[in-house]
């Protein structure tokens, strides 16, 4: 019987991932499996187990099978056949090759590791003590997972930073008011009599600037855990991918701006709406939503509501007092228009645990994230080394992402003939 361990690992991982995705989609809809979905889920888990069993059998056969070797530079190594792929097909396969190469002191060296060996001198990617770079394909997969898991990452305006730069800057118009003499920072036009003198005016400019900041993850893996390469690759890609995604979303909302992104909660341009007179604690009322919408400067096509799930029951009860029954402000996903998301005032509602709890400032936002810039460089960098904890039989895996972000505007805008400021980012003050 012929076994392709790498192919079996890919199939096992794919079946497990599809089953996980199916389960998550059902959980998000808060319903039970249909009969067909239940059959599909069980079939996927059976396929995963079949592949894992076949992998174990193949490994047992490999242990007993004679491997032709060659001696080069005093080191005995297995012959690499023409069938060996040019690249590792998934993260688990590379981890397994690294484990064999280091644990057997070079007796089972895989030539594909030559392409991922780290530099021995000073460099920015990995430690100089003989680590291995994780193949670029896997690094890109991790970055993709971070953006799929991070709900806001795909809504902000992302700007890549070139190889030789670590900062982004762009000129801005210094405009915080639309009153005469403030538009475009000071441009004015006048009515002038025939032969009268022209009156000069000039715009005022500022600068929007962001410096890359580093976000990191680290994982120690025992020799025993490395033996199950399929599970290890799945845990690392899903676990670190989701955690990077969570942190990105959290900083876009709550970041302090010191060594991390500046979140909209702490941004000077945030507009906060005062609660209604006599409004009960920990509530959201129709008047709150109407006033948030009135102070929203962003484009309605880009507008989204960010809400803590604590507030869902409050949103469901909101309505305009029109006629005998009123008109609901909240509409569930699907609805009459087949919307993908729940809708409030005609704009999507995103439920994020990073929002504050019901009743606190920041439990609900109305935002236009086209007015938020996130810079990023080179995607996610990943590296590994056995030398950090060599004596305890542990390998270390390191993940790094360099990015930063902030709202474009430094202040809210005061419209002409009004004292109420407006902004692309609006929230409610505390209702205690």
The CATH number of residue 406's host domain is 3.90.1690
Residue 114 has pLDDT above 70, yes or no: no
Whether residue 321 is contained in a domain is answered as: yes
Higher pLDDT, 255 or 75: 255
pLDDT tens string 250-263: 999 999 999 999 99
Length of the chain counted residue by residue = 432
Residue 81 has pLDDT above 80, yes or no: no
Number of domains the chain is built from: 1
Find the domain containing 280 and state its range. 117-186+200-432
pLDDT at residue 235 in the model: 73
> Of 408, 160, 153, 361, which Cα lies nearest the Cα of 262?
408
Whether residue 160 is contained in a domain is answered as: yes
Rounded distance, CA 383 to CA 125, Å? 7
Mean pLDDT of the chain: 82
Angle between helices 91-103 and 136-149 (to 10 degrees): 130
Q: Which pLDDT band, with edges at 50, 70 and 90, does 80 fall under?
A: very low
Query: Within a 13 Å sphere around the CA of 335, how many CA atoms are in the beta-carbon half?
Result: 15
Whether residue 273 is contained in a domain is answered as: yes
Residue 382 has pLDDT above 90, yes or no: no
Whether residue 20 is contained in a domain is answered as: no
> Going by C-beta distance under 8 Å and a sequence separation of 6 or more, which residues neighbour residue 180?
188, 416
pLDDT at residue 62 in the model: 64
Letter string b/e over residues 126-162, b meaning 16 or more CB atoms within 10 A of that residue's CB = beeeebbbbbeebbebbbebbbebbbbbebbeeeebe
pLDDT at residue 397 in the model: 85
- Report, as an integer, the average pLDDT of 35-39: 88
For residue 343, the SS3 value is: strand
Higher pLDDT, 84 or 392: 392
Whether residue 347 is contained in a domain is answered as: yes
pLDDT tens string 390-419: 777 788 888 899 999 999 999 999 999 999
Q: Which of 56-65, 306-315, 380-389 has the lowest mean pLDDT?
A: 56-65
Whether residue 77 is contained in a domain is answered as: no
pLDDT tens string 173-210: 899 999 999 999 999 999 999 999 999 999 999 999 99
Distance of CA 143 to the CA centre of its chain: 8
Q: 294 near 428, Cβ under 8 Å?
A: no
> Of 310, 264, 311, 254, which Cα lies nearest the Cα of 288?
311
Whether residue 271 is contained in a domain is answered as: yes
Q: Which pLDDT band, with edges at 50, 70 and 90, does 145 fall under?
A: low
Whether residue 45 is contained in a domain is answered as: no
Residue 51 has pLDDT above 60, yes or no: yes
Whether this prediction's pTM lies above 0.75 is answered by no
């Amino acid at each position: 019987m012929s076994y392709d361990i790498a192919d079996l690992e890919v199939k096992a991982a794919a079946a497990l991932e599809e089953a996980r995705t199916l389960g998550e989609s059902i959980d998000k809809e808060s319903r039970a499996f249909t009969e067909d979905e239940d059959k599909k889920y069980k079939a996927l888990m059976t396929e995963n187990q079949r592949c894992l069993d076949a992998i174990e059998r193949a490994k047992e056969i490999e242990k007993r099978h004679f491997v032709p070797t060659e001696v080069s530079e005093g080191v005995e190594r297995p012959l690499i056949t023409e069938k060996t792929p040019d690249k590792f097909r998934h993260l688990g396969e590379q981890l397994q090759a690294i484990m064999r190469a280091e644990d057997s002191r070079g007796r089972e060296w895989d030539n594909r590791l030559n392409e991922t060996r780290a530099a021995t001198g000073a460099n920015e990617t990995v430690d100089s003590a003989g680590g291995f770079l994780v193949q670029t394909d896997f690094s890109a997969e991790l970055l993709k997972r971070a953006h799929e898991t991070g709900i806001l990452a795909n809504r902000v305006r992302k700007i890549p930073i070139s190889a030789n730069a670590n900062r982004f800057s762009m000129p801005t118009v210094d405009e915080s008011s639309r009153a005469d003499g403030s538009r475009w920072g000071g441009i004015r036009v006048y009515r002038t009599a025939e032969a009268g003198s022209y009156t000069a005016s000039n715009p005022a400019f500022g600068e929007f600037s962001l410096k890359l900041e580093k976000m990191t993850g680290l994982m120690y893996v025992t020799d025993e855990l490395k033996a199950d390469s399929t599970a290890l690759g799945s845990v690392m890609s899903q676990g670190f991918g989701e955690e990077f995604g969570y942190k990105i979303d959290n900083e876009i909302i709550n970041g302090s701006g010191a060594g991390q992104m500046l979140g909209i909660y702490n941004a000077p341009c945030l507009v906060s709406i005062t609660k209604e007179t006599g409004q009960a604690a920990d509530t959201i009322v129709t008047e709150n939503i109407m006033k948030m919408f009135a102070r929203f400067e962003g484009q309605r096509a880009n507008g989204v509501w960010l809400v803590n799930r604590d507030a869902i029951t409050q949103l469901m009860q909101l309505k305009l007092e029109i006629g005998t029954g009123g008109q609901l402000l909240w509409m569930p996903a699907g609805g009459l228009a087949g919307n993908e998301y729940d809708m409030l005032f005609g704009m999507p509602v995103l439920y994020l645990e990073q929002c504050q709890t019901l009743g606190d400032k920041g439990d609900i936002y109305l935002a236009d994230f086209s007015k938020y810039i996130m810079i990023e460089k080179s995607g996610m960098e990943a590296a590994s080394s056995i030398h950090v904890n060599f004596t305890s039989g542990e390998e270390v895996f390191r993940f790094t992402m360099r990015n930063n972000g902030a709202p474009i505007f430094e202040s809210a805008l005061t419209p002409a003939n009004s004292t109420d400021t407006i902004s692309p980012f609006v929230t409610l003050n505390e209702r205690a």
